Structure 1
Amino acid sequence: MKKWILAVAISAAISGCAIQSANNAIDVTTAQANLPAGVSLVETVSLTDSEIGIAYKKYRLANGLTVILHQDTSDPLVHVDVTYHVGSARELAGRSGFAHLFEHMMFQGSQHVGDEQHFKVVTEAGGTLNGTTNSDRTNYFETVPSNQLEKMLWLESDRMGFFLPALTSEKFEVQRETVKNERAQRIDNRPYGRLGERFAQAVYPEGHPYSWPVIGWPEDLDRATLDDVKHFFERWYGPNNATLTIGGDFDEAQTLSWVNKYFGEIPSGPQVESATKTPVTLDKTRYISMEDKVHLPLLYVGMPTVYAGHPDEAALDLLANIIGGGPTSLLYKNLVKEGYAVQASVGHPCQELACQFTLYALANPATGGKLALLEEKIDQSIAEFEQRGVTDEDLQKVKVQFEADTIFGLQSVRGKVSTLAANQTFYANPNMVAQDLARYQSVTKQDVMRVFNQYIKDKPKVVMSVVPEGQSQLVAKADNFTPTALPVAAEAVTGLTDIKPVVSSFDRATMPQVGKAPVLTVPSLWTSSLSNGIEVMGTESEETPTAELVIYLEGGHRAVPVEKAGLAQLTAAMMGESSTQHTTEELAHKLEMLGSSISFGAGISQSYVQVSSLSKNLAATLAILEERLFNPGFNRADFERVKQQQIQSLQQAMTNPSYMASNGFSALLYGKNTVMGNSQLGTVESLSALTLEDVKAFYQQQYTAGSAQMVMVSDLAKDNVISMLSGLSQWSGKATTLTPINKRLYAAPATIYIIDKPDAAQSEINIGKRALSYDGTGEYFKANLMNYPLGGAFNSRINLNLREDKGYTYGARTQFSGQEDTGEFIASASVRTDVTGAAISEFIKEIQTYQQTGMNDKELAFLRNSITQGQALDFETPYQKAGFIRRIQRYQLDPQFTQQQTQIINAITTTELNSLAKSLLDINTMVILVVGDKDVIQKQLAPLGYPIQVIN
Structure 2
Amino acid sequence: MKKHVLLSTGIVLLFGLSACDSNTAPQQLSTKAKLELPVGMTKINSVQKADDEIVIPFTQYELANGLTVVLHSDKSDPLAHVDITYHVGSGREEPGKSGFAHFFEHMMFQGSENVADEQHFGLITESGGTLNGSTNTDRTNYYETVPSNQLERMLWLEADRMGFFLDAVTVEKFENQRETVKNERGQNYDNRPYGLLRERVNEALFPQGHPYSWLTIGYIEDLNRADLNDLKKFFLRWYGPNNATLTIGGDFDEQQTLEWVNKYFGGIPRGPEVVDPEYVDVVLPEDRYISMQDNVSLPLMYMAFPTVYANHPDEAPLDVLMSILGSGKTSLLYKNMVKNGKAVQAQAGHSCGELSCQFSLLALPTPNSSLAELETIARTSLVEFESRGGANEDDLARVKAGIVSGMVYGLESVSGKVSQLAAYQTYRQNPNAIGDDIARYQNVSKEDVMRVYQQYIKNKHAVIMSIVPKGQADKIIKPDTWQRLERTFTQEQDESALVLRPGKSDFDRSVVPPSGPNPSIKVPDIYQVSTTNKIAILGAVNDEVPTTTIHLRIPAGQTREDLSQLGLAALTAAMMGEGTEQNSAEDLSNELQKLGSSVDFRAGNKYTTLRIRTLTKNLEPTLAIALEKLTQPKFTQDDFSRLQKQQIEGLKTAKKNASSLAAEAFNKLAFGHNNSFAYSSGGTIETVEKLNLDDVKAFYKANYGPAKSELLVVSNLSELSMLSALQNLNSWQGNTSAEPAIKAFPALAAGTLYFIDKPEAAQSEIRIGKRALNYDATGEYYRVDLMNYNLGGAFNSRINLNLREDKGYTYGARSFFYGDDIYGFYKAQAGVRSDTTADSIVQFRKEISEFAANGMTDVELQFMKNAIGQRDAREYETPGQKLSFLSEIMEYQLTRSFVDEQNQILSKISKEELNALAKKHLKLDEMITVVVGDKAAIMESLQPLFKNIVEIDEEGKPL
- Alignment TM-score, normalising by the size of structure 1: 0.96
1:611-643: CA deviation from partner (whole Å, max 9, x where unpaired): 000110010000001111000000110000011
> Which residue number in structure 2 is paired with residue 99 of structure 1?
101
Q: Which residue of 1 aligns with 2:551?
A: 550
Q: Summarize the Cα distance change of 1:881–1:15 in structure 2 as closer, same or farther, 3 Å threshold.
A: closer
- Give the partner amino acid of 2:307: T
Amino acid at match of 2:233: H
Match of 2:144 in 1: 142
Equivalence for 2:403: 402
- The residue number in structure 1 matching 2:12 is none
Superposition deviation, residue 583 in structure 1: 1.0
| C-alpha contact (below 8 Å) 2:753/2:946 kept by paired residues | no
1:290, 1:467 within 8 Å by CA — same for their partners in 2?
yes
Aligned to 1:4: none
Q: Deviations over 1:315-336 (max 9, x none)?
A: 0000100111110110000000
- Superposed, 1:109-188 pairs within 5 Å as 109-188=111-190
Unaligned runs of 5+ residues in structure 1 are 1-12, 18-23
Matched residues in 1 for 2:600 and 2:819: separation? 25
Aligned residues: 930
Q: CA deviation at 1:500?
A: 2.7
Give the partner amino acid of 1:692: L
Which residue of structure 1 lines up, in the alignment, with residue 937 of structure 2? 936
In 2: Cα distance, 1:72 partner to 1:204 partner = 43
* Deviations, residues 552-587 of structure 1 (Å, cap 9, x unaligned): 123411111111110010000000001111111111
Task: Give the drift of 1:491.
Answer: 4.9
Q: State whether structure 2 residue 389 is matched by structure 1 residue 386.
A: no
Superposed counterparts of 1:368-447, under 5 Å: 368=369, 370-388=370-388, 389-447=390-448
Deviations 1:104-143 (CA, angstroms, capped at 9, x unpaired): 0000000000011100000000000000000000000000
Please list every run of 5 or more consecutive structure 2 residues that lacks an aligned counterpart in the other structure: 1-16, 22-26, 954-959
Deviation of the 1:483 alpha carbon: 3.1
- Amino acid of the structure 2 residue aligned with 1:791: G
Question: What CA deviation, in whole Å up to 9, does each residue of 1:778-802 have, x standing for no partner?
Answer: 1111010000000000000000000
Aligned residue identity for 2:373: L
Distance 1:849 1:14, change over 3 A: closer
Give the distance between the partners of 1:313 and 1:798, measured in 2 at CA: 46
- Mapped to 2, the partners of 1:571 and 1:553 lie a distance apart of 12
Q: Name the residue aligned to 2:659.
A: 658
What are the within-5 Å matches in structure 2 for residues 507-518 of structure 1?
A: 507-518=508-519
Q: How many angstroms does 1:474 deviate by?
A: 1.0
**1:631 and 2:632 matched:** yes
Task: Look up the match of 1:274.
Answer: 276
**Residues 293 and 468, structure 1, Cα contact 8 Å, conserved in 2:** yes
Distance in 2 (alpha carbons) for counterparts of 1:707 and 1:567: 20
| C-alpha separation in 1, matches of 2:675 and 2:301 | 37
By how many angstroms is 1:493 displaced? 7.2
1-side partners of 2:677 and 2:20: how far apart?
Answer: 57
Aligned to 2:679: 678
Q: 2:79·2:146 contact (CA, 8 Å) conserved in 1? A: yes
- Give the equivalent residue in structure 2 for 1:218: 220
- 1:15 shift after superposition: 13
What pairs with 1:261-410 in structure 2 (closer than 5 Å)? 261-365=263-367, 367-368=368-369, 370-388=370-388, 389-410=390-411
Tell me the residue number matched to 1:714: 715
Give, in whole Å, the separation in 2 of the partners of 1:573 and 1:397: 23
Query: SS state of the match for residue 706, structure 1?
Result: coil
User: What is the letter of the counterpart of residue 393 of structure 1?
Assistant: D
2:635 counterpart SS class? coil
- Cα displacement string for residues 262-296 of structure 1 (whole angstroms, at most 9, x for unaligned residues): 00110000000110011111111111100000001
C-alpha displacement of 1:352: 1.3
Distance in 1 between residues matched to 2:492 and 2:754, nearest whole Å: 48
For 1:66, the aligned partner's letter is: T
Q: Residues of 2 paired with 1:544 and 1:49: CA distance?
A: 16
Whether the 8 Å contact between 1:89 and 1:136 is mirrored in structure 2 is yes
**Kept in 2: contact 1:204–1:211 (CA 8 A):** yes
- Displacement of 1:484 after TM fit? 2.4
SS class of match (2:330): coil
Query: Which SS does the other structure have where 1:434 is aligned?
Result: helix
Q: What amino acid is the match of 2:371?
A: L
Partner of 2:956: none
Distance 1:234 1:206 in 2: 27
Distance (Å, rounded) in 2 between the aligned partners of 1:832 and 1:98: 21
Q: CA distance change for structure 1 residues 15 and 87 in 2, over 3 Å: closer, same or farther?
A: closer
Partner of 1:36: 38
Which amino acid is 1:126 matched to?
A: G
1:854-893, aligned counterparts within 5 Å?
854-893=855-894
Q: Report the equivalent of 2:466.
A: 465
Residues 210, 536 of structure 1: alpha-carbon distance in 2 compared, 3 angstrom cutoff? same
* Separation in structure 2 between the aligned mates of residue 945 and residue 318 of structure 1, nearest angstrom: 58
Tell me the SS of whatever aligns to 2:211: coil
State whether residues 553 and 707 of structure 1, in contact with CA within 8 Å, keep that contact through their aligned partners in structure 2: yes
Cα drift, residue 544 of structure 1 = 1.5
After TM superposition, list the pairs within 5 Å mapping 1:632-651 onto structure 2.
Answer: 632-651=633-652
Q: Measure, in 2, the Cα distance between the counterparts of 1:813 and 1:623.
A: 44
**Comparing 481-490 with 890-899, which one deviates more in the overlay?**
481-490
Distance in 1 between residues matched to 2:805 and 2:238, nearest whole Å: 25
Task: Provide the rounded CA distance (Å) in 1 between the counterparts of 2:699 and 2:242.
Answer: 61
Cα 1:506–1:937 shift into 2, 3 Å? same
More displaced 10-residue stretch of structure 1: 556-565 or 734-743? 734-743
How much does 1:868 deviate? 0.9
2:10 aligned partner: none
Partner of 2:240: 238
Q: TM-score normalised to the size of structure 2?
A: 0.95
Instruction: Tell me the secondary structure at the aligned position of residue 951 of structure 2.
Output: strand
Kept in 2: contact 1:91–1:492 (CA 8 A): no
Take 1:924 and 1:244, find their aligned partners in 2: how far apart are those partners? 51
C-alpha deviation, 1:399, in angstroms: 0.6
Q: Tell me by how many angstroms 1:743 deviates.
A: 3.8
Instruction: Give the alignment of 1:52-67 within 5 angstroms.
Output: 52-67=54-69
Q: Displacement, 1:432?
A: 1.9
C-alpha distance in structure 2 between counterparts of 1:127 and 1:262, whole Å: 20
1:158-198: per-residue Cα shift (whole Å, max 9, x none)?
00000001000000000000000000000000000000111
Distance 1:15 1:630, change over 3 A: closer
AA in 2 matched with 1:128: T
CA shift, 1:498, in A, is 2.5
- The match for 1:777 is 778
Q: Give, in whole Å, the separation in 2 of the partners of 1:354 and 1:798.
A: 41
| SS of equivalent to 2:213 | coil
Alpha-carbon distance, 1:527 to partner: 1.5
The match for 1:197 is 199
State the Cα deviation string for residues 500-536 of structure 1 (Å, max 9, x = none): 3113111000000111110111111112211112111
DSSP-derived class of the 2:412 partner: coil
SS at match of 2:290: strand
* 2:769 is aligned with 1:768: yes
Q: Residues of 2 paired with 1:495 and 1:393: CA distance?
A: 56
Match of residue 849 from structure 1 = 850
Report the CA distance between 1:682 and its aligned residue. Answer: 0.7
CA RMSD of aligned residues (A): 1.7
Partner SS state of residue 313, structure 2: coil
Superposed, 1:590-609 pairs within 5 Å as: 590-609=591-610
Residue 31 (structure 1) shift: 5.3
Measured in 1, the distance between the counterparts of 2:709 and 2:589 equals 24
CA distance in 2 between counterparts of 1:763 and 1:153 reads: 39
Q: Residue 410 of structure 1: SS of its match in structure 2?
A: helix
Q: Is 1:817–1:824's contact at 8 Å kept on the other side of the alignment?
A: yes
How far has the Cα of 1:487 moved from its partner? 2.0
AA partner of residue 221 (structure 1)? L
Corresponding residue number in structure 1 for 2:52:
50
Q: Which amino acid aligns with 1:208?
A: H
Shift of 1:746: 4.5
Q: Check the 8 A contact 2:46/2:58 in 1, yes or no.
A: yes
Residue equivalent to 1:6 = none
1:579 maps to a residue whose letter is T
Q: How far does the alpha carbon of each residue in 1:715-771 deviate from its partner, in whole angstroms, 9 at most, with x for none?
A: 111111111111111123454323232343244111001011111110000011111
| Cα distance in 2 for residues equivalent to 1:15 and 1:862 | 39
Is the Cα–Cα contact under 8 Å of residues 14 and 434 in structure 1 kept in the other structure? no
